Chain A
């Protein structure tokens, strides 16, 4: 290395320059892709929802609509199906402003109650409790939980459960009482319903197979 250079492969300056170039190129590519992704994952608008324009992350008012998760033949995976039927949360259609406020409360509550250290959200978090990505569509909320909590609808059952999870044990491993208020619980339900409308490229796969098994209709049933 000192004196006569035997080969470029043992030259420190060659490797230093290569490292700088490769790192620089990778960084530029990442930043460029980030701009593209940012545009694709910004939250949609109410107008887009009304016009049936698909967004990967729909507007907060998506909670006014019926949401399903169905097998898409062309993509070979399950994708959310939004509307066109309405299914307002707690039976009351919310304005874009009200929906955004409720979602904001829900997201904030999900963080301040530290949901993510037991549950996974979009598959990320703790592995101690079920994944919440499509929790809004879970068949347990259709059948078991409304009966257990004595509520008529699944969103009411969710609120009752979230406020007092220690009262409604479903397994030996129970969710603790985190002091969630009624309003916070409603926010969380809005947050969960909104999350179930996100296009997650088919994760979790086969989710609606469970729905079929619980006879509420699902993707593999078509």
Chain B
């Protein structure tokens, strides 16, 4: 992953840079996740040194930022293949933007870790921490992110305009504009907490339950073309159907965040109806991946050509993505999306269970798959077969994430029934539930499963660093 990229097109070289930072931030996310998991069990751990709020802020921001890095990397990876242009328009600026963004991220992390909080003044919001979950990045960094993303978008847009206009790239270009534009909805301050959260959800929900999902559909389409040689017409038709269903359900599915934040009651019906439909496209995507795989494999075998898959790890991660997206985002989301249930589950470990499995299943998986495609390109390999390390990484991370989600779901059940239904959600109710043995046991299992995920991550990094060389040697021999 580190040194074989000289022959790559400028676009793909930049993609690899984005992937490298992404994997480092992924590691940071997991480490800080282990810290906050431990603080549930030993509240004195790093108390007033790196408090839960600080460690969690880094945990979730590292998550968002590594995914954005890997997403940008994926776009630079597919750009030459889809547009037929090796050197995107404005490549120099694109490279500069990468370094500016990375420097800004480093400064923000240092400030988060060592300054942590500021006084109750506007300057804190501007320079230390905005204090809005997921959007903690201070305002100066917000503006920097917007500038960098605009440069990235210009790269993609003008390259698209100049080159081939495939269906995949058309969806990508349109969708990226929405991803970038939505970020602006989170960049203002108001004393009205309901107004605050109304627009906050425009960013969070319309990213992860609409535009990011379409992004994943686009990546999956690209991966299927490359990895199993699926037919472009079929893949692109499916992509449009997915866009229809994802935006058709996801845009108004936003309503399920407007049940309890001071917004009118009509959001109950709108949120319930449309968010209940959100799993449908996820089933479709799952069927689509497996169907195409079976079809291409069958054609290969009929033609006596053996295995259709040209990149084992990518295909494995894309398949886990197809199922994980449906399970984590679809099923776990549907569990608590109706207001009749959500009035009890809102803001409990139930949400955490869903969040963990959905971010993993829907996003982490396919982005790791894209990294393996980058490795294949870097070493110019015709085929990339999974190694023992690839398999261990996939197994341990997936098993660990499932285990964490199950543990958090059990903790959530207990919390919902005891703290919410039985005791009524006050301060004492909260701690009564937190201290019950079933809750504590679930939190122990969550931490154990977190360690399993981390072991898988070690295998993943090890594999990404070595698989190219190993396979290149095998291909030469």
Whether the pair A140, B130 counts as a contact (CB closer than 8 A) is no
Closest residue of B by beta carbon distance from A203: B260
CB of A86 closer than 8 Å to a CB of B: no
CB of A46 closer than 8 Å to a CB of B: no
CB of B223 closer than 8 Å to a CB of A: no
Whether the pair B194, A56 counts as a contact (CB closer than 8 A) is yes
Interface size class of B (residues with CB under 8 A): 35 or more
Closest residue of A by beta carbon distance from B431: A171
Whether the pair B351, A114 counts as a contact (CB closer than 8 A) is no
Whether the pair B347, A124 counts as a contact (CB closer than 8 A) is yes
Which listed residue, B53, B54, B236, touches A12 by the CB 8 Å rule? Answer: B236
Whether the pair B348, A114 counts as a contact (CB closer than 8 A) is no
Which listed residue, A109, A126, A201, A209, touches B133 by the CB 8 Å rule? Answer: A126
Which listed residue, A23, A107, A122, touches B244 by the CB 8 Å rule? Answer: A23
CB of A146 closer than 8 Å to a CB of B: no
Q: In the assembled complex, which residues on chain A have CB atoms less than 8 Å from the CB atom of B191?
A: 43, 60, 100, 103-104, 107
Most B-side CB within 10 Å, residue of A11, A18, A135, A206 = A206
Whether the pair A126, B56 counts as a contact (CB closer than 8 A) is yes
Which listed residue, A108, A127, A187, touches B349 by the CB 8 Å rule? Answer: A127
Q: In the assembled complex, which residues on chain A have CB atoms less than 8 Å from the CB atom of B125?
A: 108, 111-112
* Chain B proximity of A168: nearest CB distance (Å): 13
Q: Which positions 99-151 of chain B face chain A at CB distance < 8 Å? A: 116-122, 124-125, 128-133, 136
- Bound together, the chains give a CA A134 to CA B430 distance in angstroms of 13
* Chain A proximity of B305: nearest CB distance (Å): 24
Closest residue of A by beta carbon distance from B51: A176
Q: Which positions 1-55 of chain B face chain A at CB distance < 8 Å? A: 36, 39-40, 43-44, 47-48, 51-54
Q: In the assembled complex, which residues on chain B have CB atoms less than 8 Å from the CB atom of A34?
A: 198
Given A15-B240, A108-B122, A128-B40: A113 touches B268 (CB 8 Å cut-off)? no
Q: In the assembled complex, which residues on chain B have CB atoms less than 8 Å from the CB atom of A203?
A: 259-260, 343, 346
Of B67-75, B318-326, B382-390, B418-426, the one touching chain A? B418-426
Given A125-B347, A128-B40: A114 touches B427 (CB 8 Å cut-off)? no
- Bound together, the chains give a CA A71 to CA B118 distance in angstroms of 39
Whether the pair B237, A12 counts as a contact (CB closer than 8 A) is yes
Q: Which 7 pairs of residues, A with B, have the shortest CB-CB distance?
A: A109-B120, A111-B131, A112-B124, A203-B260, A123-B347, A204-B425, A15-B240
Q: A23-B251, A36-B264, A106-B120 are in contact. List 10 more A-B contacts (CB 8 A).
A: A41-B263, A108-B121, A111-B130, A114-B116, A122-B261, A139-B426, A174-B47, A195-B193, A204-B424, A210-B425
List 17 A–B pairs whose Cβ atoms lie within 8 Å, in order of A's numbering.
A15-B241, A26-B252, A40-B263, A107-B193, A108-B121, A108-B124, A117-B57, A123-B260, A127-B347, A131-B425, A171-B431, A171-B435, A201-B259, A201-B260, A206-B425, A209-B424, A211-B426
Binding site for A on B (CB under 8 A): 36, 39-40, 43-44, 47-48, 51-54, 56-57, 116-122, 124-125, 128-133, 136, 167, 189-198, 200, 233, 236-237, 240-241, 243-244, 247-248, 251-252, 254, 258-268, 270, 343-344, 346-349, 351-352, 420-421, 423-431, 434-435
